[in-house]
Structure 1
Amino acid sequence: MPDRRGGPGANVGDWDTGAVSGSALSTPAVASTPFELPDSALAEVGTRPFGIYVHVPFCATRCGYCDFNTYTAGELGTSASPQSWLEAAERELARAAEITGGPLVDTVFVGGGTPSLLGGDVLASVLGAVKATFGLAHGAEVTTESNPESTSPEFFAALREAGFTRISLGMQSAAEHVLKVLDRTHTPGRAVAAAREARAAGFDHVNLDLIYGTPGETEADLDASLDAVLGAGVDHVSAYALIVEDGTALARKVRRGELPAPDDDVLASRYERIDARLADAGLHWYEVSNWASNDDARCRHNLGYWDGGHWWGVGPGAHSHVGGVRWWNVKHPARYADRLSAGQLPVEGSETLTEEDIHVERVLLTVRLRSGLPLSALRDGERVAAERVLDDGLAVVESDHLVLTDRGRLLADAVVRDLLA
């Protein structure tokens, strides 16, 4: 899945910019009040890079820790299908281009769910629809998430030929018993093999996702996972602390006492170990939960989220942001398709961000970046708080930016709370 979850331990916040959580089935319905993007927001289009996020809501099975907006075939029945989803997504892209004027797209991210379940040809069609409606800027980054078990050399070759430039694979762990706790279906070695297949198909940029702090995971398990990641030759790694989300199977097991809750001290120790191993191998953090071998390897699409960029989220439950207006689509694939078939955008709700909202989000997100938070962005009272953060050794000043120290990354949420208090 995309780089959307939180960072080390409970002290780092969760920021989900792609698809809202939950998968409760609902009755298809058409909105009574059509959504319109105001002229003030449209005037901002073209002032900064523009991204497209495409949410694929399908999964073969449900992972016990996941609360993203996903559905198995059994949950959907005959109410929706990949074909009806694709047709609806193409309609939404066409409407989005019509509304925004179709700016050239700088980044595309296909997430989920499990996009690789659709196969290379369907994902190529998705990218083809983006090209036909918006067009891609020169050097555009085009990413898809993939589950290792639903990939193959032929799959990666098809994606590369279609114009995808980056692959993100959900590895989570190299320990079989850890994968079992997470309800992951792939075998421990498959993620590394898939990463190598992607590289062989011509992908220079390949990411592996790790989840650490799973109940039963040992330090040796983590080391084995890091050994596998580093042996795969990838240029990007995302590592997320396990978060027990309400409403998930994992949360129910923890509540019943079948599994212990993640321990904050263990999570912090795991994070430090991950950072040290990756840094020694030449992958350096550029966001609290993300490491890259060089600037080109960084995920530009996610940087757009963290920098307050503009993007249109296509698909059930997808979120969008343009010019200070944020909106989100209906969750259920059948409702999503019905809205678009009726000639309406599939928007469930929206909000116009105030200056205060924009400021808070800038502090919240930018402080997580290695480039840091510009001191000029701080208000008078926040500058006083920043002095305390500096005195406590949680940050340093580099080129007039507040940059988290190693200890500060472990307490990133606390730093944000101090700055905004």
Structure 2
Amino acid sequence: MPSTFPPGEPSPVDGQLPPAALAGLGKRPFGIYLHVPFCRTRCGYCDFNTYTAAELGSEPGASRDTYIDAAIAELDLAVTVLGERPQVESIFVGGGTPTLLPAADLARFVQAVGDRFPIAPGAEVTTESNPESVTEADLEVLAAGGFTRVSFGMQSAVSHVLQVLDRTHTPDRPQQMVAAARRAGIDQVSLDLIYGTPSESLEDWSRSLAAALSAEPDHISAYALIVEEGTALAAQVRRGIVPMPDDDDLADKYLLAERELTAAGYRAYEISNWAIDERARCRHNLGYWRGDDWWGIGPGAHSHVGGVRWWNVKHPRAYAARLDGGRSPAFEREVLTRAERHTERVLLELRTSDGLPLDVLNDRGRRAVPELTRRGLLREEQQRLLLTLDGRLLADAVTRELVD
């Protein structure tokens, strides 16, 4: 969860939603996200809402020991606010470093979801993990507790790149943990990579891709490094210690990833995500890109139900204090207008390999299509618009042409 919030209006103290937002509840896919805000150390590039033990101490609400109890209290609030109990298609535990919590606590959260909501047969249940923060025994507990998917933060297989990113794991640890997850009975395994780190050569990036592929995960994510304001990396760039990522370098590395991953049998189903088959696509994230409903639990977590988006207070102590006082932890919200929902649909659905139905576009957008097609950025297939490979590199610019 990013640490900066968009502008919004104050959320109701009881967390209630407008009747219009609840009108289609249960007709759209519904997911639950749990944000775990704890990390052992803060990575220099990270802008997520996370805290180290040294920053939090052991005050009430900041302790890992009681965190799942607070999360379950918000689950109870969700039951009250929603009024009905939609079927849960996916559960995603992100961070931070979720596996800094005991595996039994994460399994207890999944059980608590199942005690309060019907869980769809074959639901996807994911946790992220730092490769150094989990053992094979932990993975066995997670598998027994209902987790079907784990996503390891690999980032790179090159020591000097990991050092720039402030990552503490050894280069081959993620590959070892992929094998451990399979032995533990986890059905789907993903590796997350970052490209464009200062000092990372094209050869370095090729080594990281080869290392990830050697582990034979079901899914690989590859994200361009973004220098976020307020991070240690941004300060280093500002002082001239490291350079800003170069757009041409990022494009070269993206194209290399596409070539290498495609040659290995993976297919991009979203700009930054490749899966070995359709079953390996991350269903929870697809829900975000389709504009489905989800309830986000935890400090700083974002939620969306029926065109209303809200976000919780950021600090773990403030989050726990609100729940202890019988109040919603929601800080602010926005009720999306028809125009905003249209823009978001174009922006998000166009990122996926399924593309965007042509009839979603307004007249302005339709007029832009022929020129974007002529420039090789879009193609039309069965009344849907799809980004070409060049279009993926310029996805933000293409979206602006279609919605401005």
Query: 1:325 & 1:72 partners in 2: Cα distance?
Result: 31
Matching residue of 1:39: 19
Residue 219 of structure 1: how far off its partner (Å): 1.5
TM-score normalised to structure 1 length:
0.92
Q: Please state if 1:20 is matched with 2:7.
A: no
Residue 120 of structure 1: how far off its partner (Å): 1.1
Matching residue of 2:315: 332
Q: Is the contact made by 1:192 and 1:229 (CA closer than 8 Å) also made in structure 2?
A: yes
Matching residue of 2:74: 92
Query: 2:58 & 2:177 partners in 1: Cα distance?
Result: 32
Q: Please state if 1:313 is matched with 2:296.
A: yes
Name the aligned partner's letter for residue 173 of structure 2. Answer: R
The CA RMSD over aligned residues, in Å, is 1.4
Q: Deviations over 1:83-121 (max 9, x none)?
A: 332111010001102222221210000000000111211
Q: Please state if 1:83 is matched with 2:69.
A: no
SS in 1 for 2:300: coil
Q: Deviations over 1:147-168 (max 9, x none)?
A: 0001111111111111100110
Q: 2:222 aligns with which of 214, 235, 239?
A: 239
Distance 1:34 1:94, change over 3 A: closer
Q: Please state if 1:156 is matched with 2:139.
A: yes
Q: 1:256 aligns with which of 213, 226, 239?
A: 239
Q: Is the contact made by 1:84 and 1:337 (CA closer than 8 Å) also made in structure 2?
A: no
Query: 1:49 & 1:61 partners in 2: Cα distance?
Result: 35
Query: 2:297 & 2:65 partners in 1: Cα distance?
Result: 15
Q: Is the contact made by 1:175 and 1:188 (CA closer than 8 Å) also made in structure 2?
A: yes
Residue 204 of structure 1: how far off its partner (Å): 2.6
Q: Is the contact made by 2:13 and 2:328 (CA closer than 8 Å) also made in structure 1?
A: no
Query: 2:234 & 2:81 partners in 1: Cα distance?
Result: 41
Q: Deviations over 1:155-189 (max 9, x none)?
A: 11111111100110000000000000000011101
Q: 2:347 aligns with which of 342, 364, 383?
A: 364
Q: Is the contact made by 1:52 and 1:314 (CA closer than 8 Å) also made in structure 2?
A: yes
Name the aligned partner's letter for residue 164 of structure 2. Answer: V
Residue 386 of structure 1: how far off its partner (Å): 1.2
Residue 33 of structure 1: how far off its partner (Å): 3.9
Q: Please state if 1:131 is matched with 2:111.
A: no
Q: Deviations over 1:247-303 (max 9, x none)?
A: 000000000000011000000000000010000000010000000011110000000
Q: Is the contact made by 2:99 and 2:134 (CA closer than 8 Å) also made in structure 1?
A: yes
Name the aligned partner's letter for residue 83 of structure 1. Answer: D
- How do residues 349-388 of structure 1 correspond to structure 2 at under 5 angstroms? 349-388=332-371
Matching residue of 1:56: 36
Name the aligned partner's letter for residue 149 of structure 1. Answer: E
Q: Please state if 1:197 is matched with 2:180.
A: yes
Name the aligned partner's letter for residue 349 of structure 2. Answer: T
Query: 2:156 & 2:112 partners in 1: Cα distance?
Result: 34
Matching residue of 2:48: 68
Q: Is the contact made by 2:15 and 2:81 (CA closer than 8 Å) also made in structure 1?
A: no
Q: Is the contact made by 1:20 and 1:319 (CA closer than 8 Å) also made in structure 2?
A: no
Q: Deviations over 1:291-345 (max 9, x none)?
A: 0011110000000000000000000000000011111100000000000011111
Residue 32 of structure 1: how far off its partner (Å): 8.3
SS in 2 for 1:285: strand
Q: Is the contact made by 2:13 and 2:327 (CA closer than 8 Å) also made in structure 1?
A: no
- Out of 256-265 and 123-132, give the one that drifted further: 123-132
Q: Is the contact made by 2:195 and 2:222 (CA closer than 8 Å) also made in structure 1?
A: yes
Name the aligned partner's letter for residue 137 of structure 2. Answer: E
Name the aligned partner's letter for residue 175 of structure 1. Answer: V
Q: Deviations over 1:44-64 (max 9, x none)?
A: 210111000000000000000
Query: 1:20 & 1:414 partners in 2: Cα distance?
Result: 23
Q: Please state if 1:400 is matched with 2:383.
A: yes
Q: 1:215 aligns with which of 192, 198, 206?
A: 198
SS in 2 for 1:193: helix
Name the aligned partner's letter for residue 72 of structure 1. Answer: T
Q: Percent identity at matched positions?
A: 56
- Out of 42-51 and 309-318, give the one that drifted further: 42-51
- Paired residue total: 397
Contiguous gaps of at least 5 residues in structure 1: 1-18, 24-30
Matching residue of 1:11: none
Query: 1:328 & 1:109 partners in 2: Cα distance?
Result: 17
Matching residue of 1:106: 89
Query: 2:88 & 2:375 partners in 1: Cα distance?
Result: 42
Q: Is the contact made by 2:92 and 2:284 (CA closer than 8 Å) also made in structure 1?
A: yes
Contiguous gaps of at least 5 residues in structure 2: 6-10
Query: 1:129 & 1:32 partners in 2: Cα distance?
Result: 25
Distance 1:98 1:81, change over 3 A: same
Query: 2:179 & 2:394 partners in 1: Cα distance?
Result: 35
Q: Deviations over 1:187-220 (max 9, x none)?
A: 1010110111111212231110000010111122
